[in-house]
Amino acid sequence: MCHSSGEVIVVGWVCLEDHFSLPSRAEFDKARLAKRVKLARECVAVQKAVWEYLITNSEIAAAINDFVLANFFISDVVLNLGKYGSLTERQHDVVIRTASKARQFHQSDPKGVCPEGKALSIQGEIVSLGTKQY
């Protein structure tokens, strides 16, 4: 392809189609701006869908609010919610179950905690001794 300076440049077909198919710089800028506006409108539409979903599904909103930082599964589902604007029925049900189990875990007394101030005796056989240098 010849450039206006007379030099030959080599470009791939995607670049050729995107950058050199328009007759002028103004047309190129106009097309690029239209593409950005379209992407921005799509993002706004997804954000609106997320808000509407969370308003209509308050239990999901509560689960996200309570456990998004503490539960990796719920964090991953939140990413999908932000990407697609809603959750599937299965995702919805699993988030509710996961949040209820997490609430039960956090409300229950911990089991198997070592008592403070008491000595424990452990019996067993020493198999090997070793040290590690760090």
What would you measure as the largest C-alpha separation in the chain, in angstroms? 88
pLDDT tens-digit profile of 96-109? 998 888 888 877 76
Instruction: Determine the 3-state secondary structure of 71 from DSSP.
Output: coil
129 pLDDT higher than 60: yes
pLDDT at 114: 61
pLDDT at 36: 92
Q: How many CB atoms lie within 10 A of CB 91?
A: 17
pLDDT tens-digit profile of 36-92? 999 999 999 999 998 998 899 888 888 888 887 788 888 888 888 888 888 899 999
Phi/psi for 32 (5° steps) reads -65, -40
pLDDT tens-digit profile of 1-28? 444 666 776 767 676 666 666 777 788 7
Ranking 29-38, 89-98, 125-134 by mean pLDDT, the lowest is: 125-134
Q: How many CB atoms lie within 10 A of CB 81?
A: 22
pLDDT at 3: 47
In angstroms, the CA 86 to CA 119 distance is 53
DSSP 29-96: HHHHHHHHHHHHHHHHHHHHHHHHHHHH-HHHHHHHHHHTTT-HHHHHHHHHHHHHSS--HHHHHHHH
- Where in the chain are the domains? 13-104
pLDDT at 41: 92
Contacts of residue 77, Cβ cutoff 8 Å, sequence gap at least 6: 87, 91, 94, 95
Ranking 25-34, 61-70, 114-123 by mean pLDDT, the lowest is: 114-123
pLDDT at 119: 72
Read off the amino acid at residue 8: V
